[in-house]
Structure 1
């Protein structure tokens, strides 16, 4: 009797140790994915909540797979319980969905004790994401601000405006242009990326010198600002 109790206690301790290792490994791998996502992200802002979700969803999937084990009835019960939850988050960028799936895959692999698959798969995905980021398939340019203003149609200082954009901006792209004041004025919206040696205060001061330029506004954001 004492031998059976000893064996059962040793088995429980070993199971707890494996569970802790599984959760720890899924946390490390998903943290790596979150770090790669943050470093290869290009946009006006990213969501810190989404980055944390990449880490947490991997741990959840690992625990779920551990709970299911080899029991078919337990798996059906967990699927029924999970079906109550409705995920209605919409991702603007398909790349965000891919990182979430990568975290899920890492957690599932850890939960099913396929540790080499989880490690090699996560490293392979991370390396591929970094390579694609720096390859010709990656983003050619990115922007850190939004410039808006309106100008009279056929304004004589249109060329001066273009010169200032080229002088102060490393890259810029016209986002929208619409008529206003019954077609007498045009409202412009530009995505811009300022040059490193230029200050947005000086840029705004130069733009204000243009005659008849109204509604001037510049919204600057760093690429790692949380929304």
Structure 2
């Protein structure tokens, strides 16, 4: 499979074409990981910068491993240089961490010229992710929009009308945040919602606007917020 290119195991003896092939392979495999991440993502929004990082970090890992080669002193020097950089990115979702580690592992394998390991590992990880996505272990129900509005603190009739509309139009909804505004005179609500089948968001918004004291109404759909 890899007879078309001569691959040296030592970085000092690697040809330019070998280095180019290594970087290109790291790019292609990490792009596959990024694509799988996008297609299996279930949430209101994902970061475009994070998706790009999945692709780029594998290239960095491949270049670093190629630079180190079999040299112990180079490895120690690179570790010292990397320790100066402080990484402050916090991953709220363990799944994001796994994809970043998968891209790193793929880049390291490419940099070490373990191309069969890189390809097999990446394809295996991608297939496992897709399998879990469609299996019972995947999320069966997820929210596809966020509804925000505010109501007077003491108006119980409007709250009952709101609850009636939520039950009528939404298959699922969950209160995300609730905070006081206007010096405690009003309450600001944020709901994750999933509409029932054959229900229209336009009709939902029209009926919500019939609530007299409801203000600050906004609906952010998943399709409109996928890129951050």
**TM-score between the two structures when normalised by the length of structure 1:** 0.82
Query: Structure 1, unaligned stretches of length 5 or more?
Result: 1-11
For residues 63 and 185 of structure 2, the distance between their equivalents in structure 1, rounded to whole angstroms, comes to 63
Contact 1:45 1:221 in 2 (8 A): no
Cα displacement (A) at 1:169: 2.2
Q: CA deviation at 1:111?
A: 0.7
Contact 2:42 2:142 in 1 (8 A): yes
Q: Please, which moves more after superposition, 150-159 or 121-130?
A: 150-159
How much does 1:173 deviate? 1.3
1:143-179 deviation per Cα after TM superposition (whole angstroms, max 9, x unaligned): 2322233255573465543332233223211223456
The alignment partner of 1:83 has SS state of helix
Q: Where does residue 84 of structure 2 map in the other structure?
A: 84
Mapped to 2, the partners of 1:71 and 1:44 lie a distance apart of: 46
- The question of whether the paired residues in 2 share the 8 Å contact of 1:145 and 1:218 is answered with no
Contact 2:150 2:186 in 1 (8 A): no
Alignment partner of 1:219 is 2:227: no
Matched residue SS, 1:220? strand
Is 1:200 aligned to residue 201 of structure 2? yes
Bigger CA drift: 174-183 or 62-71?
174-183
Q: Distance in 1 between matches of 2:52 and 2:184?
A: 47
Moved over 6 A (4+): 179-185
CA separation in 2, counterparts of 1:151 and 1:136?
A: 42
Q: Does 1:210 align with 2:196?
A: no
Q: Does 1:55 align with 2:61?
A: no
In structure 1, the residue matched to 2:72 is 72
Give the aligned partner of residue 6 of structure 1: none
Q: Counterparts of 2:91 and 2:181 in 1: how far apart (Å)?
A: 33
Count how many residue pairs are aligned between Structure 1 and Structure 2: 215
Deviating more after overlay: 134-143 vs 170-179: 170-179
CA RMSD of aligned residues (A): 2.6
| Residue 9 (structure 1) aligns with | none
- Aligned to 2:19, what secondary structure does the other structure show? helix
Paired residue secondary structure (2:140): coil
